């Protein structure tokens, strides 16, 4: 039997590349606020991601490492990009954003993600993918 594909992922359909193959969702007030605060960088490596939904913008307060952020509208089209966002920063707020993908730094450039790209989000078991 061939290996099973990723269970929860973010896929850039325009570039035909995965942005995250191990995706968690933050959808409660607390999990969206907490995000990746106090997470060690070794627990957020290539292939991992956090989808903050809903969200118009993010912060990196109490974070220990930089991240990339991909802002998506309600149709999951890329409307804004933040590369290598350092800890203890406020990122842009985009009223038209419906959600934000937080990804390991370098993901945007490696995947060549650009404004207007279409991103597919798949969560195999959305009940159990809530970020703590």
pTM score, whole prediction: 0.87
The tokens for 17 are 């590349």
Tell me the mean pLDDT per 10 residues along the chain, length 132.
62 98 89 84 91 94 95 98 96 96 98 98 64 35
* CA nearest neighbour of 96 among 71, 118, 121: 71
The tokens for 125 are 């078991």
Give domain limits for the chain: 8-128
- CATH number for the region 8-128 comes to 2.60.120.1140
* Residues linked to residue 103 through DSSP beta bridges, in sequence order: 68
């Amino acid at each position: 039997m061939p290996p099973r594909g990723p269970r929860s992922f973010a896929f850039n359909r325009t570039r035909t590349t995965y942005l995250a193959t191990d995706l968690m969702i933050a959808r409660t007030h607390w999990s969206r606020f907490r995000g990746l605060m106090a997470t060690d960088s070794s627990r957020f490596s290539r292939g991992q991601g956090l989808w903050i939904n809903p969200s118009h913008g993010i912060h990196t307060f109490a974070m220990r490492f930089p991240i990339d952020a991909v802002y998506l509208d309600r149709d999951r089209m890329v409307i804004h990009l933040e590369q290598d966002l350092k800890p203890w920063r406020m990122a842009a707020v985009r009223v038209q954003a419906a959600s934000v993908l937080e990804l390991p730094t370098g993901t945007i450039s490696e995947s060549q993600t650009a404004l207007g790209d279409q991103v597919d989000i798949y969560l195999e078991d959305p009940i159990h993918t809530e970020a703590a």
